[in-house]
Amino acid sequence: MDTENESNQEVLEAEVVDSKVIDEGVLRKVLLRAGRTIAQPAIEAFEMIMDTSTPPQARVSMLAALTYLIMPLDLVPDFIPAAGFSDDLVALTAVISLWKNHMTPEMRNRARRKLDKWFPL
């Protein structure tokens, strides 16, 4: 049984490493439309995905939340003014809260710097 779990863990890790499908340029384009409120958790999720110290399960769920954000047609389509990104924000904050113990100060700092660069005050 342990060997099966270890094998599944290795497959999951390989899939996460090979599934960096969230292009930072595409993410930035969507976030500039969505605004700073949605950008903060999205960039934190992106930093968690990119950091190899993040557990594979966390990386997969962050990847799913960011993919949901990038898709223009979802539960509440993104083109609807004011409400369009609300479901994306809920998804991102829910996933981040599940894995918040794995968010390091370094990841948070990288995310904050990127947020300030993309959305100057």
Token couple for 99: 């894995």
Burial of 117 (0-12, 13-18, 19+ CB in 10 A): exposed
Average pLDDT, the chain: 80
> So where are the chain's domains?
2-118
Residue 15 confidence class, pLDDT cut points 50, 70, 90: very low
pLDDT of residue 19: 44
pTM of the model: 0.74
Core vs surface per residue 43-63: b (16+ CB within 10 A) or e: bbbbbbbebeebbbebbbbbb
Reported as a single tens digit per residue, the pLDDT across 28-60 is 888 888 889 899 999 999 999 999 899 999 999
- SS3 (DSSP) at 119: coil
